[in-house]
Amino acid sequence: KLVALAGAGKLVVRLKGVDPAIFGRASEEIEALRTAGLDVEVIPGVTAASAAAASLRASLTERDLARRVQFVTAHGRDGAMPEDIDWRALADPGATTVVYMGVRTMPELTKRLVDAGLDARTPAVLIDRATWPDERKISATLETIADAAAKARPAGPCLLILGAALAGPVARLRA
C-alpha cells in the first residue's frame, strides 16, 4: 500500500506509534519503497522501552543492579514463542529485560525464565499503552505477572520489563 500510494504521487507518511526499528517491519517497508525507486526518510523517536521507563520513573540500568538492558520479542512471525531464544542469557539477574509483544506468550516466557535460573521474585511490570492517557502499569513478580496480566486484560501495545532495577518502581506502584 505504501508503494502504491507513493507511486501514485501521494506524499506518504508512515506514522508508527511504537518502535519502527525494533521488532517491526521497518526494513521490509523501506526496502519495498527503495525497490520501487521511491525516496525514504526515517525520523527517529523515543524507543518504547525508554518511554515506559520514564513513565515508571525508573532507570533501566540502575547502578549496581543492572549492567545491561536486553530487548527481546516473545512473538515470532507465526505468533508463537520464538524457538531460538538464548534462555540462559535472558535469565541474567544483572540485566533489565524488556519484552516486546509478550502478552500472549507470557505464561511460557515466565516459566522458561524461571527454569533458566531467573529468580521467581524478580520484579516485573507490564506497561499497557505506555505514555498514552489511558496507560496502565501492572506490577508483580516474574512468578505472578502472567496471572496479573491475564486478570488486567491489557489492551496493548504492551511492554513487559523485568529486573532488579525495577524493585523501587514496583514498590511505589504497590504502595
Question: Which amino acid does the sequence have at 81?
Answer: M
Rounded to a whole number, what is the distance in angstroms from the first to the last CA of the chain? Answer: 48
Q: What's the pLDDT at 16?
A: 67
Q: What's the pLDDT at 17?
A: 62
Between CA 112 and CA 26 the distance in angstroms is 29
Q: What's the pLDDT at 96?
A: 97
Between CA 108 and CA 96 the distance in angstroms is 19
pLDDT band of residue 91 (cuts 50, 70, 90) is very high
- Segment 12-38 shows an average pLDDT of 80
Coil/strand/helix, residue 38: coil
Between CA 67 and CA 164 the distance in angstroms is 11
**Tell me: the pLDDT tens digits for 46-87?**
888 999 999 999 999 988 899 999 999 888 788 888 889 999
User: Which is more confidently placed, 16 or 125?
Assistant: 125
User: Which is more confidently placed, 18 or 96?
Assistant: 96
**Tell me: the pLDDT tens digits for 141-170?**
999 999 999 999 998 889 999 999 998 877
pLDDT band of residue 175 (cuts 50, 70, 90) is low
Between CA 14 and CA 85 the distance in angstroms is 30
**Tell me: the pLDDT tens digits for 8-19?**
888 888 776 667
Average per-residue pLDDT for the chain: 89
The pLDDT of residue 108 is above 90: yes
Beta-carbon contacts of 155 under 8 Å, excluding residues fewer than 6 positions away, are 128, 129, 134
Q: How far is CA 169 from CA 8, 59, 110, 165, 166, in A?
A: 50, 9, 20, 8, 5
Question: Which amino acid does the sequence have at 39?
Answer: D
Coil/strand/helix, residue 162: strand
Q: How many CB atoms lie within 10 A of CB 123?
A: 24
Beta-carbon contacts of 100 under 8 Å, excluding residues fewer than 6 positions away, are 19, 22, 23, 48, 71, 72, 73, 74, 75, 159
